Chains A and B, each alone.
Chain A
Amino acid sequence: MDFLRPDSWADALAAKAEHPDGVPIAGGTDVMVELNFDRRRPSSLIDLTRVRDLSEWYEQDGLVRLGAGVTYARLITELGDQLPGLAMASRTVGSPQIRNRGTVGGNLGTASPAGDSHPALLAAGAEVEVESVRGSRRMPVTDFYLGVKRNALQPDELIRAIWIAPATGPQQFSKIGTRNAMVIAVCAFGLALHPGRKAVGTGIGSAAPTPRVAAEAGAFAGSALDEAGLWESRGELPPSLAREFGQRVRAAAAPIDDVRGSAAYRLHSLSVIARRCLVWAWNDYRKAA
């Protein structure tokens, strides 16, 4: 096995081009588990922790450009105001030790349907910037997830950054698990209110082969709130609307039975947390008036 230590982004791309089956490693919280358990023997590891550019974030063109190597711990302390949904999701990742190492780029690289950051990225309408020596491209995060632990990366590509609009309204995240820490989600949900365009962003985690939006549920909630004039009046959220939203989120899911939970439990709990997220976010929206 080769251990490659590029110290610049250009060198990292060159290394990936030369070793297309090489496995990139950042925080190691997924990759090292596979190595420790002999589940994977890649021909090479490409250590990205020396590429300083990857661990930086800044605002550009009205968006946050989050380097793929920014840890969850930093996201929580530095980006809670701009990206509240993603920061909330980050707080539920593993433990302090895991949050000190794990990165959103790694979550995307692993592309597990249960990755904690995905629902928040979906709800916020994030884009993923990937690059190879052939060039750079950006895609909506919805196009990035292809299947269980499969993503849209070509063999010579690396994830460089995630582009996310700073929140223009309240955001929420909820995750079901057997305890508050060290839990792989049984199911998860992310929600973002976009009052400027009277829209409700959604993201479902761990209840389908990939993370996915509940587009129809979001459109329903956005227009039902609009028809009732609630975006302007900031009036109380009708309980029937919240319940119906939960049911429609449930309808967008396609979970399986596995060791963490049954499909039936996932569907039920998803409808509950989706309803709660909408209620919490709407109450925040009312308070912000």
Chain B
Amino acid sequence: MQLHCKVNGEPREADGVWEGESLLYVLRERLGLPGSKNACEQGECGSCSVYLDGTLVCACLVAAGQAEGARIETVEGLADGDILHPVQQAYVAAGAVQCGFCTPGLIMATHDLLRRISAPTDVAIREALAGNLCRCTGYEKILDAVRMAAANARVGE
């Protein structure tokens, strides 16, 4: 089947999409957007987190056909050219990236948290990131990065 959707602001089209494949497969294998990672394929790890019509979801659990006509934002859409998004900058500055595989999903989950709650408590941060696994177990630095991104955004306001 054919699929039409808007990805990171641009209308995109994919041909020959299998009816049972996931939005994640479409993004990575058909639209050349490998930022969203494919790890667990069962919604456990959060590495494929994207916005679907403004809602944070696991792209591996969205059937491709369900995204017909939808607006999708992936991690590739966050940076402004060569300038990283403040959330991405905070992850780099805090040393919150080890192997980096979980990072795109965590960046998206952090972005989603901070657009809802500008000064999240530690409990709120843990709750918001509960669906994202880091198997390097670098969680302390990740929490630092979220706090830093929140603080920087408040200074910037």
A182 CA to B42 CA in the complex, in Å?
Answer: 11
A47 CA to B20 CA in the complex, in Å?
Answer: 11
B36-95 residues with Cβ-Cβ distance < 8 A to A are 41-44, 46, 49, 55-58, 60-63, 65-66, 68
Query: Residues of A contacting B31 with CB < 8 Å?
Result: none
Task: Identify A97's interface contact among B1, B22, B57, B63, CB under 8 A.
Answer: B57
Query: Residues of A contacting B63 with CB < 8 Å?
Result: 3, 25, 28, 31-32, 35, 45, 47
A138-183 residues with Cβ-Cβ distance < 8 A to B are 180-182
Does A5 reach chain B (CB closer than 8 Å)? yes
Query: Residues of B contacting A58 with CB < 8 Å?
Result: none
Query: Residues of B contacting A3 with CB < 8 Å?
Result: 1, 19, 63, 65
Does B5 reach chain A (CB closer than 8 Å)? no
B5 vs chain A, min Cβ distance (A):
14
B55 vs chain A, min Cβ distance (A):
5
Does A136 reach chain B (CB closer than 8 Å)? no
A83-101 residues with Cβ-Cβ distance < 8 A to B are 94-98, 100-101
* CB–CB A33/B57 < 8 A: no
Does B144 reach chain A (CB closer than 8 Å)? no
* CB–CB A98/B58 < 8 A: yes
The number of A-B residue pairs with CB atoms under 8 Å apart is 91
Does B128 reach chain A (CB closer than 8 Å)? yes
Task: Identify B112's interface contact among A35, A96, A181, CB under 8 A.
Answer: A96
Query: Residues of B contacting A101 with CB < 8 Å?
Result: 55, 57-58, 61-62
CB-CB under 8 A for A1 and B18, given A29-B61, A33-B41: yes
A149 CA to B39 CA in the complex, in Å?
Answer: 26
Q: Residues of B with Cβ closer than 8 Å to A?
A: 1, 18-20, 22, 41-44, 46, 49, 55-58, 60-63, 65-66, 68, 109, 112, 127-128, 130-132
* Shortest Cβ-Cβ A-B pairs, 9 listed: A95-B131, A181-B130, A3-B19, A3-B65, A36-B41, A1-B19, A33-B42, A32-B61, A28-B61
Q: Residues of A with Cβ closer than 8 Å to B?
A: 1-3, 5, 25, 27-29, 31-33, 35-37, 41-42, 44-45, 47, 49, 94-98, 100-101, 180-182
